[in-house]
Structure 1
């Protein structure tokens, strides 16, 4: 048995108990268990052999997706699992798959806000595809997994197909807000499939591109401009930016024409998120499972959603009251430090609030309509600080009367009421017979060496957003550039700015011949050498009279 076979034999039970274990962790486990030294490459090969033994070949993994589709439709009627194929050079190959479970669809319609966050993340298995995900937002402001798909890349065709399947699963939803990143293919697909949706763009991705072209302190006003609820505040900051760089307006209108500023959001959505962090949370949630084969990954995602919904269902049963306690706690936290707000009552349900810390700005609050002229209450449907300053004058105010039903426990229970049906293992799935031979998709050319798993850091994260560039070879001869004066033609050691070099003194020849062997000196020369005595403080000088 080869060393790789030995590793594979002992790795099979480890992978079956923990499919997310990495090679480095597996290497340490084997060395500690068996007291031997193993090379990393041997463990990597052995793990690959063990995975083939457990999950089968890549071709079989894609074929099992049809069995998975049949099992889901059998156990959970109403769920949508769509598998797509394509013809490549006369061979039928797997193309993509979409899945949206029935309980997730029903829970979104009755218990979540009409807000969708969409993005994709690269898979790290042998098939270098992408996992496209669509997440929603529940009343607890938690990520709500809704649908996902496996595609071979972020192309216009794949995004259009994904959005078409999502539209088929959700049906007519109005109003609806969809937030995406800076992917043009996804933006075009949303415009085509959901033309009436309030289409938003992730502001963090916008700034990642914006910072490459515009840099300076004045451009820091982009963040308060994006967070502003009132158009007047947005225009104030943007005018400061345009006064410094007039070409910013043209750049944003051409490359970032979607809604990225809070003042332009539809207030009926009740969500003021300017970033696409919701789907980023989903990507981090499934980070450890992206190396699994396609059929195992699809089943694992279903299992994760099943456990997540059951866990939150238990949490909801332990909560009491009309509104989710976390929302009430957020309101209580905002009631502190409001002494800078001076309330002038007009009636029982209306007042004007003066902000002494902001040049005595004044806003009008009307509690019966749940409105404030700062527009924060209308966008979030949670009382703003001006409304809180007014409501605090009342004895024991009932905060649930001033919060939208989206944050109620009834909505939260409805979102997670449906149970995701458990499934058997793939050996018991219905067998789907193909009238043709379906092959795995073609491998992408990813270069020489072990495939990369970590993502490239963006510009805002301290990276350059791409692979490392090869260092240019050092220039020789007269092409050298001085590191001190930065001029071509010489080095730092010979730079004229160094000044004149100190003159080296010539070594004089000794007056007398020097030899390591003292006996080699001639007697007459040795006798002529005066004896040199170094004065010492312990020496005593005798007077000459003696």
Structure 2
């Protein structure tokens, strides 16, 4: 009966001669979403096939694949709230973060462009969301206390219903591990969005027009935006981006080896020797690198103040691996997942380092021991000078790599927040979701890999396969069998 947990039998048929029917119209996606709400809340990553089999086993009814998709979507709306409700509560989330995590920089930007007429008819008073920047107070304080002034930036696509892109800034801690610093959800990767991101980031850290800060990226438009914001700030090219652009015009393993040797050269004379070798091999390739400032790509020209000779932007890739699942969620669950990941990361790494007994971070200590072994095979005058003064090589390790500096970077905390029912109500009007710009063609599920990237090992790659029609194959098989039978008969 409607509105009750019981039902009424109107017609009773005592004898049934028909077969069993596995269709039940009352078992719809709305009923299933409420029935399996706790299951999907505890295991949101369950596959469609596994979820379908579990429901069919429990209720002995037929459930289509599209019905399973609708069930998961409706259950997600019950758990997280509808998409419109989440954007409407974004200002409430803003107020809650500002109150619980002091020192946090969180900025929400509304879309300045005038919405379409039909959208004004829906809700004329509400502005539209465009961007949000978040730098938690714990991450900012820890970075300034114990991390080098070296930041890698990158961008990743969001997979939720309203898409957008995630800009991120990641530093390096004393153990040469990634230290997530700030992130932003924007409408797309444009020069305007990157400039907006850098302006807020530099203002948050107090780095406007300050020398000694270095940014690394594998995007050309990032470097152009950074120059506009702070012209004297140093920047580096990721070696993978540099070689990818170089390979478009100059191919060959020999040229690749020379380029990587020049990039990894630790002193200027070795770099110049490898560049002369490149000039002899291909003068046009040499001229291609002449246009690039040496301070942006070879290790021999890096400034020693930041104590880092990293050539690629893998520190951003490591952070991306932590938020893969979060990138498929809507706006507030996305922000909350990243906050929880960073909160746990600060606490866990602090506890692990406290249990460590050495004065130098473990990865740096391992590198130091390797350098000491290499020095045993040569006459190192600097080592003689150290031992004559009754000192140890570890005494010359920079303070960035010491245990106390590492702990200082992880000492600040990111604090918990209550459920959305207890968030303060903002007086600002709720926001409309981000504009969705549908791209032509079928959406891609996987990103386009570079030519030198390893292919997916779980995917079968055909390569050069020669196929023949079945008729021709049958004739060849018959000829082969006839030839074998003639051989045996003789």
SS at match of 2:278: helix
Q: Does 1:51 align with 2:76?
A: yes
**C-alpha displacement of 1:122:** 0.4
Deviates more, 1:405-414 or 1:43-52: 43-52
Counterpart-to-counterpart distance in 2, 1:242 and 1:59:
59
Equivalent in the alignment of 1:261: 298
1:71-96 CA-partner distances (Å, limit 9, x unpaired): 01111222111000014434521000
Judge conservation of contact 2:56–2:63 (CA < 8 Å) in 1: yes
Q: Does 1:206 align with 2:200?
A: no
Equivalent in the alignment of 1:192: 228
Q: Does 1:83 align with 2:108?
A: yes
Equivalent in the alignment of 1:307: 344
Equivalent in the alignment of 1:401: 395
Q: Does 1:157 align with 2:192?
A: yes
* 1:431-446 matches, cutoff 5 A: 431-435=425-429, 438-446=431-439
Equivalent in the alignment of 1:414: 408
1:152-201 CA-partner distances (Å, limit 9, x unpaired): 111011001011110121003541110011x2321111112232222001
Deviates more, 1:213-222 or 1:21-30: 21-30
**C-alpha displacement of 1:24:** 4.9
Equivalent in the alignment of 2:480: none
**C-alpha displacement of 1:399:** 3.6
* 1:234-313 matches, cutoff 5 A: 234-252=271-289, 259-313=296-350
* 1:58-457 matches, cutoff 5 A: 58-90=83-115, 92-172=127-207, 174-181=211-218, 183-219=219-255, 220-252=257-289, 259-336=296-373, 338=375, 340-343=377-380, 351=381, 365=382, 387=383, 390=384, 398-435=392-429, 438-447=431-440, 451-457=443-449
Which structure has the higher relative contact order (CA within 8 Å, separation 6+)? Answer: 2
Judge conservation of contact 2:84–2:432 (CA < 8 Å) in 1: yes
Counterpart-to-counterpart distance in 1, 2:373 and 2:53:
52
Counterpart-to-counterpart distance in 1, 2:221 and 2:72:
37
Counterpart-to-counterpart distance in 2, 1:21 and 1:149:
28
Judge conservation of contact 2:172–2:178 (CA < 8 Å) in 1: yes
Larger Rg: 1
**C-alpha displacement of 1:62:** 1.8
Structure 1's unaligned 5+ residue stretches are 344-350, 352-364, 366-386, 465-482, 484-546
Equivalent in the alignment of 2:472: none
Counterpart-to-counterpart distance in 2, 1:35 and 1:203:
57
How many residues were matched structurally? Answer: 424
Equivalent in the alignment of 1:13: 38
Equivalent in the alignment of 1:461: 453
Shift in alpha-carbon separation, 1:393–1:88, aligned structure 2, 3 A: closer
SS at match of 2:139: helix
SS at match of 2:248: helix
**C-alpha displacement of 1:109:** 1.0
SS at match of 2:216: strand
Equivalent in the alignment of 1:475: none
Counterpart-to-counterpart distance in 2, 1:20 and 1:176:
40
**C-alpha displacement of 1:318:** 1.2
**C-alpha displacement of 1:64:** 2.1
Judge conservation of contact 2:386–2:392 (CA < 8 Å) in 1: no
Deviates more, 1:269-278 or 1:439-448: 439-448
Deviates more, 1:229-238 or 1:103-112: 229-238
Counterpart-to-counterpart distance in 2, 1:113 and 1:460:
31
SS at match of 1:421: coil
